[in-house]
């Protein structure tokens, strides 16, 4: 496919930047390369929509009624992203190459970065920042699997993978190198760039020695598991209350 055809296919949801194949996420490098080419070949243009004026290289997404998507002004989705049926965008932003699954809520001031893959029945709470990963083309984008609940002001970058139905408390900040430490057993178990399915995660710190002294560095703590029987609509407050932690 040409660059234009690839971007159009991404916009229609016919292809994705990353797909789960036999349990593993695989990156579509050709799709990511096409997005980079699209930026190079597009010219700046003025886009006027009612009282709003934009000036950019990438058109805005359209056809929300046909898609069955609710978009609350001034939410913005760029052409080349895909929104599944039942998605709700409060005033928020979805970038090119991103894929958002059915019945997912992108709450107020949440951002879904370029190429991010957000599953079905996910709630991205207010102010969540999902980073974009365009280069290198082989790099995995940020992925949030089905049924996850991402609390207010969480930050997910550098290809972090959030397993299905995981719950992140507010202000959890994850990169590819931030330790995610399971403290539910007799010994800590450490992950990097990955939150296992059904995990309940809160912000934490751990001590590290430096020449100038011992200081606390940020990490994330897995403090429990979300029950498989827990309804997907159960609020973050309810889940954290089970572990006596306020949201």
Q: In this structure, which CATH number among 3.30.420.40, 2.40.30.10, 2.160.10.10, 3.30.70.1400 belongs to the domain 3-175? A: 2.160.10.10
What pLDDT, on the 0 to 100 scale, is given for residue 52? Answer: 84
| Residue that the structure tokens 């934009």 belong to | 54
Tokens of 110: 């949440």
Separation between Cα atoms, residue 197 and residue 226, nearest integer Å? 9
Q: Is the dihedral of CA 238, 240, 241, 247 positive or negative?
A: negative
Neighbours of 181 (CB within 10 A): 18
Q: Under a CB-based contact definition with an 8 Å cutoff, are residues 163 and 192 in contact?
A: no
The single-letter DSSP state of residue 178 is: S
- Is residue 1 very low, low, confident or very high in pLDDT (cuts 50, 70, 90)? confident
- Is residue 244 very low, low, confident or very high in pLDDT (cuts 50, 70, 90)? low
Burial label, 171 (beta-carbon count in 10 A; 0-12, 13-18, 19+): middle
Average pLDDT rounded to a whole number, residues 239-244: 67
Separation between Cα atoms, residue 4 and residue 198, nearest integer Å? 39
The percentage of residues in the chain with a pLDDT greater than 90, rounded to a whole number, is: 86
Neighbours of 191 (CB within 10 A): 18
* Predicted TM-score of the model (pTM): 0.92
Q: Under a CB-based contact definition with an 8 Å cutoff, are residues 11 and 80 in contact?
A: yes
> Is the per-residue pLDDT at 101 higher than 90?
yes
Separation between Cα atoms, residue 53 and residue 144, nearest integer Å? 32
Query: How many alpha carbons fall within 13 Å on the CB side of residue 131?
Result: 18
pLDDT digits (tens, 9 = 90+) for 139-151: 999 999 999 999 9
Tokens of 100: 């958002």
More confident residue, 242 or 167: 167
What pLDDT, on the 0 to 100 scale, is given for residue 230? Answer: 61
For residue 146, what is the enclosing H or E element? none
């Amino acid at each position: 496919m040409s660059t234009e055809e690839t971007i159009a296919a991404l916009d229609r949801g016919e292809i994705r930047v990353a797909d789960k194949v036999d349990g593993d996420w695989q990156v579509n490098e050709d799709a990511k390369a096409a997005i980079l080419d699209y930026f190079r070949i597009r010219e700046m243009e003025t886009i006027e929509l009612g009282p709003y004026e934009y000036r950019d290289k990438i058109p805005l997404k359209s056809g929300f009624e046909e898609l069955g998507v609710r978009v609350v002004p001034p939410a913005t989705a760029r052409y080349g992203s895909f929104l599944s049926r039942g998605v709700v965008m409060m005033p928020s932003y979805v970038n090119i190459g991103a894929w958002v699954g059915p019945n997912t809520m992108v709450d107020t001031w949440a951002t879904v970065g370029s190429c991010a893959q957000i599953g079905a029945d996910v709630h991205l709470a207010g102010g969540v920042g999902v980073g974009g990963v365009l280069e290198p083309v082989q790099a995995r984008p940020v992925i949030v699997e089905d049924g996850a609940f991402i609390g207010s002001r969480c930050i997910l970058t550098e290809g972090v993978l959030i397993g299905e139905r995981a719950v992140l408390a507010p202000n959890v900040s994850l990169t590819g190198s931030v330790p995610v430490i399971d403290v539910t057993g007799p010994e800590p178990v450490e992950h990097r760039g990955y939150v296992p399915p059904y995990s309940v995660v809160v912000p934490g710190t751990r001590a590290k020695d430096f020449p100038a002294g011992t200081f606390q560095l940020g990490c994330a703590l897995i403090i429990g598991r979300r029950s498989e029987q827990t309804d997907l609509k159960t609020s973050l407050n309810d889940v954290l209350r089970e572990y006596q932690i306020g949201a």
